[in-house]
Structure 1
Amino acid sequence: MLIIGKIIKPYGILGWLQIVSFTEKKEKIFEYSTLYFKTKKKYKKLKIKNWKICKKKILIKISKIEDRTKSEYFLKKKIFIKKCSLPKLKKNEYYWKDIINCKVFNTKNKFLGKITKIIDVKTSNIISIKTNCIKKKQEILIPFIINKYIKNININKKKIIIKNYLYFI
């Protein structure tokens, strides 16, 4: 299972809930045929009756939840999909889940660290590398631009090579 969102708080008195979507375009979360949430023991289908965007907030209405009190059961629940429901990607496209924890090397095969997170900015994504290559642990931020900063990506080996002209490394 793969986390693609989170229910964050109730909205109004009629049982609507506000969610955060981790998909690239926020409303694409609803393109997946089945969404799930996790109870203590298992995953259950999240039966969404309706959804809407209101004042830049994504709201859902869950079947059989008609008031704010009943909706509170779902607070802070994560929203999941099955990994197999992800669409196939084109060449040089990657899911963030595949990039996180990749080991990063320069072209001289010097280990720089592991990718801990990806920061989404309008112009490009930025990878955050946790490193010990300088006297103390620190974070290096590099734009995730293939052929400009990123030389090679091998998802199977969880290895990424960055170009050497990043002189600060």
Structure 2
Amino acid sequence: MPVPQTKAELLEAIDLQFARLMRELERVPGQRYREPSIEGHAKGTVMSVGDLVAYLIGWGELVIKWIDRDQRGEPVDFPETGYKWNELGRLAQKFYADFRALSPGELVARLKQSKEAIEARIRDRDEQALYGRPWYGKFTLGRMIQFNTSSPYANAHGRLRKRKKANGPT
């Protein structure tokens, strides 16, 4: 799918990739959510399906935080307070820990909530706010949202498909 260039394309990309991801997640039995079976986000690590969902929740909630802080005129600490862009493996580990206590159903519900909250923030903005000017460095707000929603949803879908081929459907 091409990189979204408009509000409508961004919303479509998020919905499409999220739907594909959800179809794969629905095929994973709850008792298998915590089994380490997927290549991790940090080199040489292995994660569970639950960790993968936690990672997506973490990034989604960060996007919401960035947008909300920016809207209030507050500084945004990219990617997250206490983390630098070259420490994303450590940030992934934080996300895994943050959501480890959630059941599979709670993880999926929280992921859906973050996606819906991001889409609401997109709908609240016009084309100029999303794609008319740089928002972070050279990147527009729309591009930053895409980097942290539809792209990771597609990546997670691929990881789940690879896991299923290696381990079978359950």
TM range (shorter): under 0.3
Q: Which has the larger radius of gyration?
A: 1
TM-score when normalising by structure 1: 0.21
The structure in which a higher percent of residues are helix is: 2
Q: Which has the higher contact order (CA 8 A, sep 6+)?
A: 2
Task: Determine which structure has the larger strand proportion and give its number.
Answer: 1
